[in-house]
Structure 1
Amino acid sequence: MATTFSKNIRSTLASSFINSLIYSCTIPFLVIYLAGIFNARMTGLLVMTNVVVCFLAGIVGGYLADNFQRKKILHLFQSLYGGSLLLIALRFFGLFSADGWLILGYLVCGISFNLYSPAYDAVLMDCTTVENRKQAYQWQYWTFNLSMALGFSIGGFLFQHFLFQLFLVAGIAQLAMALLFQSQLDYTNATAEKRHKNRLKDLFLNYRIAAKDTRWLFLILGMALFNTAEFSLKTYTAVRLSKEFETLTLFTVPIDGVRMLSLLQVLNTLLVVGFTFLVSRFTEKRSEKATILYGLLIYVVSYGLIAVMNNIYILIPLMVLATIGELASSPNINARKVDLVPEDKQASYLAFSSLSYQGADLLAAFALTLSGYISAGFIAGYIIILGLVGTSLTVSSLYGRNNKGI
């Protein structure tokens, strides 16, 4: 149980939950608001700019977390994040009239969030042991998904009429949480040795080490390939369902393609929140390697079939299977990959691993582009083949000759 964790682990998990909750009830709805005041081209450019700067901030954040005290980094950038939320709240209140303040707040939120996230990951890794690491990552996975569900619900309810109050409370809560976390976290970390007086050169050398680690590189590539299956749900599958799914009535509620997509996403979240620990108990006495392998196979094939199906009575069981595969594999992968990370490069390695999600995003977007030239069946094959190759790379990276499976 989580009560058996050390105070540092409990504090980190609780703080991470609140951070994710605040993020999910504010930033996605800020994007919706921006889309209402700017044209599609401007909004798209703004979102793409945010993705790029957030990725760069994550890279810098990983370097900072390896070379400075993580506790100070967390306090500094969590506070900056809270301040940017208050800036947005003041714009909604009417104190600032220019929309540029919203853009500034949006970008600073993303930058500050990604500057401290690698430090969070490294603190959790540091505070866990071989015995409790898997359980800690299961709790992190569970709380993250719970925070997403709660955050989207809160934000969706308050979005229309209470934007000022939403961002004001979120900003105050973020600042209060940053102070409380500092008082609860009893932690110092060793810092990597500085190799150059030029910090920029030192930063690139830091990540060059991670990039030259072949096993880590193949793991990140493998994760990008199999994550393409799930990421395609929000790109290719979303567009296909909106165009091809025939509206039907379910319990007097009309379900069109967009609502079908929402239903699948809600189902996925509810299953993750409700069954993470049940699936964990079922798989804990089984081979970890086999659990990851078969979990990923179910996950990849199910999402690949979702990409081509239009029947609600097939789509829902496929989403249940995909989520079971995710629950069996994801926490185990997150816990196991820690064994591949050098102690003095923890945050940098973890920040570098964000490339797996960037890569999955690009591959899923490419599936959408391909759909203009080939049929849905070939797109499903594309997703499944990439996922199978990714599964092979991931398993071989985690359980190679230097990392024997359990």
Structure 2
Amino acid sequence: MKFKNFSTNIKIRLITSFFTRTISLATTPYFIIYLANHVGKSLTGVILIVSLIGSFISSIIGGYLADLYNRKHVLLWGQALQIISLLGLATTLFIHEKVIQNIFVTIALYVFFIFQSISSNIYKPAYNALVMDSTNSSNREYIYKFNYWMMNLSMAVGAGIGGFFYKSYLIELTFVAAIIILTISIILQLYLTNHSQVYTAKSNNIFKGLSNQYAIALKDTKWVIFVLGSALVFSAEFSLSNYTNVRLSQNFEVVNLYNIRIDGIIGFSILQILNTLLVVFFTFVIQNKIKKFNKLNNLIVGLSLYILGYTAISYSDQLFILLVFMVIASVGELIFSPYWQSEQVALIPVDKRASYSALSALSNTVATSLASLYLILSEYISASVISLIIFSLSAVGVACIIMAIKRNVLMQDSSAKM
């Protein structure tokens, strides 16, 4: 299957997601560095956790609305809120940098940072559900493999843009981000269709309907185990943007390469770019090499390499060692990611795709919260202890993911025999 054979919805979703992720990765990690340098790591960690809690709640509400109402409309309204928040964030940052720095401007900066995170998450369940609606069991794994490839390409572009323009052009990058989201909204309005949505029955009481909808998902034990396991595993990678980036900006051993000075911020960008380039150029190569092996074994091997690599990255401050372990982490990611995504979709009931997708945001919320907690703890404990915590929690996460997948396979086999 080739890109040209994908449905229009899938093509639009893949292309617009590329630009959305690119501008997000060109701004958000560097805002975290900016805040950490201005208010300290502890307060920045607290701000991130507040932002994540708000984002998770907005994702839950967005998922509920996307199963009840037209997903395209939920998507567009959410993006409208994100445009407002990005413009507010850029304006406040301009005032903070160019005009005046006082407690009110600083608080406004925090508020818009949190609002931007919340608004960008409220429409993601609708976005994800629209893709699920356009896939089937025969093309799902390939579509998600291609989505994974484009996601990592956007990471390389975003990291490169952010790393080289962060110090002088963060304000401009934020304004550009708002313009890009506006352009994407116009494209989605004109070309995105919502023809295959399965609607959930509406409740007269929105709070009762909301609780009932998610109670069903929370009672799905295998799904909850899968989500929490994923959270623990991904906390290793998310620590790169919420903990390791700040540590490298302060403790990195500066390297001079051909008269180019590589400091911690540039080093962080190089790591992200390396990860992405490996994925962009080797995704299909590695997938073709491993497809003859058992998928579950591939998942275990890939996850093991992944957590080993990111654990080492969370500890080292030497460029060569960081690069070696980023290669290891990236290879692990290439091995497990497409199968992990496909299994995630297989665990979700058709009529509750947006709600389950929203609840799956819990994995990102918990993972990023843990990564933010590592940032807070770094003020009080050593990097080696934090790395040990990262490895231990990630290993538990791998066990949870395997358990959930095996349980789902057993249930499917039992249903097939009945």
Q: Same fold (TM over 0.5)?
A: yes
Matched, 1:5 2:13: no
Give the one of 178, 182, 203 matched to 2:185: 178
Question: Does the aligned pair in 2 maintain the 1:86–1:172 contact within 8 Å?
Answer: no
Within-5 A mapping of 1:24-63: 24-30=25-31, 45-63=46-64
Query: Residue 82 of structure 1 aligns with which residue?
Result: 83
Listed as ranges, the matches of 1:197-276 within 5 Å are 197-234=204-241, 246-253=253-260, 260-276=267-283
Aligned-residue RMSD, C-alpha = 3.5
Partner of 2:200: 192
| Higher alpha-carbon deviation: 173-182 or 101-110 | 101-110
Among candidates 349, 355, 361, match of residue 342 of structure 1: 349
Q: Could you tell me whether the CA contact under 8 Å between 1:247 and 1:256 is conserved in 2?
A: yes
Q: Which has the higher helix share?
A: 2
Q: Matched residue of 2:395: which SS? A: helix
Return the offset for 1:139: 2.0
Aligned CA distance change for structure 1 residues 163 and 383 (closer, same or farther; 3 Å)? closer
The one-letter code sitting in structure 2 at the alignment partner of 1:299 is Y
Q: Deviations over 1:31-84 (max 9, x none)?
A: 556667767776555444322211211111111111111011112222232233
Identify which range, 270-279 or 239-248, moves more after superposition.
239-248
* CA separation of 1:372 and 1:101: change in aligned 2, threshold 3 A: closer
**Deviations 1:170-200, CA, capped at 9 Å, x for gaps:** 3333223212212211223121112x42211
Paired residue for 2:416? Answer: none
SS state of the match for residue 129, structure 1? coil
Q: Which residue of 2 aligns with 1:279?
A: 286
Shift of 1:107: 3.7
Structure 1 residue 338: deviation in Å?
0.8
Residue 234 to residue 80, structure 1, CA distance change in 2 (3 Å): closer
Cα drift, residue 388 of structure 1: 2.8
Secondary structure of 1:290's aligned partner: helix
Q: Distance in 1 between matches of 2:263 and 2:175?
A: 35
Kindly indicate whether residue 411 of structure 2 is the aligned counterpart of residue 402 of structure 1.
yes
Structure 2 residue aligned with 1:288: 295
| Gap change, CA 1:32 and 1:363, over 3 Å in 2 | closer
Deviation by residue 1:152-179 (Cα, 9 ceiling, x = unmatched): 4334555555566544443333223212
Instruction: Read off the aligned partner of 2:75 and give its amino acid letter.
Output: L
- CA deviations on 1:322-354 (whole Å, 9 max, x unpaired) are 110011111210111111111121111111112
Distance 2:247 2:343 in 1: 36
Correspondence for 2:307 among 294, 297, 300: 300
Gaps of 5+ in 2: 414-418
Contact 2:67 2:199 in 1 (8 A): yes
Q: Aligned residue for 1:73?
A: 74
Q: Tell me the alpha carbon deviations over residues 184-230 of structure 1, each in whole angstroms, 9 at most, x when there is no partner.
A: 11223121112x42211211221121111110111112212222332
Give the whole-Å Cα distance in 2 for the aligned partners of 1:281 and 1:65.
36
Partner AA of 1:389 in structure 2: V
1:125 and 2:125 aligned: no
* Matches of 2:88 and 2:373, distance apart in 1: 36
| Contact 1:371–1:379 (8 Å) recurs in 2 | no
Greater relative CO, 1 or 2 (CA 8 Å, sep 6+): 2
Q: TM-score, normalised by structure 1?
A: 0.84
Contact 2:23–2:158 at 8 Å: present in 1 too? yes
Query: Cα offset for 1:356?
Result: 1.8
Identity of matched residues, %: 38
**Code of the aligned partner of 1:3:** K
Aligned equivalents of 2:46, 2:371: Cα separation in 1: 19
Give 1:297 deviation, angstroms.
1.6
1:393 alignment partner in structure 2: 400
Aligned partners of 2:138 and 2:58: how far apart in 1?
32
Gaps of 5+ in 1: none
1:314–1:29 CA distance, 2 compared to 1 (3 A): closer
Q: Is residue 149–residue 269 contact of structure 1 (8 Å, CA) maintained in 2? A: yes
**In structure 2, C-alpha distance between the alignment counterparts of 1:37 and 1:374, rounded to whole Å:** 22
